[in-house]
């Protein structure tokens, strides 16, 4: 964190807090002495959000599980559906 701001001070100097978030990095805002929020530049937010997303697809994930040589039976049952009474 570049700087820690009390809520009232951050409100009074909001433009400065935003400028610092863009130029220097995330700005921490506290409420009653406890960490409350972090103000970050949009570009930083987007960068972190992209990095937190899921990567890959289901097929590579399943292949990594190591069941390649397993004799799993995946045939569908030939039984008919049971009748449904409405």
Domain definitions of the chain by residue range: 3-64
- Percent of the chain, pLDDT > 70? 91
Contact criterion met (CB below 8 Å) for 5 and 28:
yes
pLDDT of residue 1: 55
- Could you write out the three-class secondary structure of the chain? CCEEEEHHHHHHCHHHHHHHHHHCCCEEEEECCEEEEEECCHHHHHHHHHHHCCCCCHHHHHHHCCCCCCCCCCCCCCCCCCCCCC
Residue 6 pairs with which residues in a beta bridge? 30
Q: Which residues of the chain have pLDDT under 70?
A: 1, 51-55
Tokens of 36: 């409350």
**Token pair of 37 as six digits:** 């929020």
Confidence (pLDDT) at 52:
66
CA 64 – CA 69 distance, rounded (Å): 12
CATH of domain 3-64: 3.40.1620.10
Q: Which neighbouring-strand residues pair with 29?
A: 5, 37
């Amino acid at each position: 964190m570049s700087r820690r701001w009390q809520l009232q001070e951050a409100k009074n100097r909001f433009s400065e807090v935003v400028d610092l978030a863009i130029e220097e990095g995330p700005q921490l805002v506290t409420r009653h002495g406890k960490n409350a929020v972090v103000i970050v530049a949009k570009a930083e937010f987007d960068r972190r959000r992209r990095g937190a997303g899921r990567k890959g697809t289901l097929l590579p994930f399943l292949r990594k599980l190591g069941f390649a040589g397993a004799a799993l039976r995946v045939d569908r049952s030939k039984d008919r559906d049971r009748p449904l009474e409405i």
